[in-house]
Amino acid sequence: EKQKRLLKNRPDQPQNPRVLRIAIIGAPNAGKSTLSNQLLGRKVFPVSKKVHTTRCKARGVITHEDTQLIILDTPGLTNPLKAKRHNLEEAMLTDPWDSMKHADLVLVLVDVSDHWTRNSLSKEVLKCLSEFPHTPSVLVLNKVDILKKKFLLLEIVTDLTEGIVNGKKLEVKSAFKQDSRSSAKSPLQNTQAPPAESRAPGSPCEQEKNQAQEGSGLSKSSDVRGAGSEEAQGPKHCGFKDLQDKKGWPHFQEIFMLAALHGEEVDTLKRYLLMQAKPGPWEFHSDVLTNQSPQEICDNIIREKVLEYLPLEVPYGVTQVTEIWEEGECGELFIVQNLLVPRESHKRMLIGRGGKVISRIAQEAGQDLMNAFLCDVHLKLKVEVKG
C-alpha cells in the first residue's frame, strides 16, 4: 500500500531539480540487472546466469540531494528467432527500443570475460545505437576482474570504439604493462574528460584518472590521450547494410571499466552519472526505489531462482500464480505461489529428490525478498502440471 501511495504521490520536488534518464542496453547476460542493483544499493531486479532473466522494462530510481537518476533496466537485446526459441514475450523485442526513446544517456554494457563476443558489439546493439545516434552513449566494460590478461583491454576498447572516443582518436604511446592483480580500474577509464560545464574542479572523474593509472599497472609516463578531431558533424544514422561490417561504435563519450558483481568502480560510474544530470522535474517521489509493485519484485526473484536451478530451456515454460499475499499484524508477509509446469518430468525436476530443489528455491527467494522489503517473509511454493 505504501508503494502504491508513493507512486501515485506527486514528487517532492527540490528547488532546482535535476534529472537523468539512463537506458542500460547490451547482449543478454552482460550484467545489466547486476549493475542496476549495485547503483541502487538494493536488489530489486532479478539476476541469473541464464539469459533473458529480465523479461520486461522496469525502472530503478536513485535520488541524491537535488538529482534523480532513473535507470531503465531493459531485457537483453535479442532477435525474433532467439525470442521464439526461449518462449519470450513480444515486449522482450520492443522494450529496449522504448527505453532508448526516453533516455537522456545510454550505457552500453559489454561482458569482457566472454572471449567470443567481447571484441565486437552485437548487431542488435549497433542497430539500437544507430537508430538514436544523437543520444549520448557511454561504453561500460563489465566483469573486468575475471579478465586475467589486462593488456587485452586496450585491444577490446579499440575494437569497440573504432579507436575514437568523444570525437577524438585514441593514441597509445607506450605499451600497457600486464598486471596480474584483480583490478577493475583501467588507463582508459576517463581518457576523455566530460565537458567543462558538467565537471567541477577536482571532480571524481579527474581524481579517478590518476588512481586508474596506478591500479592498472600503466606507468605515469604513458600517454593515453585524444589526438586529432574527428566526426565533427556528429553521429549519423546508419542503415542495416552499413552495420553489417561494423564491430564498434565511434561515438562513445566515455569509457568505464568495472566489476558490477563486486561493486568495483560502480561508485565512479554513479558519480559520473550524477554529474551528467540536467535541470528538469523529478518523475518520482524521493522515497521510491523502483516503479515495480511488490508482487512484480516477488515474481521476478522467484523466477530468478527457478532459472538458476533448472537446466537448459525448462524454466522458460514455468508459469507463476500467486495464491496468497497477506500482511501479518507485525508487518510480516505471507506468500503462497503456485509454479505451473508443462510436463510431469519438469515437475519432478523442480521439486527435486526429497523436495530439496524447491525447498532451496523457496529459502533463497525468501531471503532475497526479506532484503528487498526489509521485513520478515514467509514464502511457500507449490508445483503443479498445467491444465
Q: State pLDDT tens for residues 279-326.
A: 999 999 999 999 888 999 999 999 889 888 887 666 678 899 999 999
Lowest mean pLDDT among 27-36, 51-60, 199-208: 199-208
Q: pLDDT-derived band of residue 89, with 50, 70 and 90 as boundaries?
A: very low
Q: pLDDT-derived band of residue 215, with 50, 70 and 90 as boundaries?
A: very low
What is the mean predicted confidence (pLDDT) over 315-342? 91
Task: Note the pLDDT of residue 334.
Answer: 97
Helix (H, G, I), strand (E, B) or coil at 102: helix
Task: Note the pLDDT of residue 311.
Answer: 78
Mention every residue, 6+ apart, whose C-beta is less than 8 A from residue 122: 27, 77
* Main-chain phi, psi angles of 212, to 5 degrees: -65, -40
Q: Does the pLDDT at position 165 exceed 60?
A: yes
Q: Does the pLDDT at position 214 exceed 90?
A: no
- Domains present along the chain, CATH in parentheses: 1-172+241-279 (3.40.50.300), 294-385 (3.30.300.20)
Give the pairing of strands 105-111 and 137-142.
Answer: parallel
Q: Does the pLDDT at position 88 exceed 70?
A: no
Q: pLDDT-derived band of residue 190, with 50, 70 and 90 as boundaries?
A: very low
Q: State pLDDT tens for residues 112-156.
A: 999 899 999 988 899 889 999 999 999 999 999 999 888 899 999
Q: Which three cell numbers stand for residue 267?
A: 561508485
DSSP character string of 262-325: GTBTHHHHHHHHHHH-EE---SS-TT-SBSS-HHHHHHHHHHHHHHHHS-TTGGGG-EEEEEEE
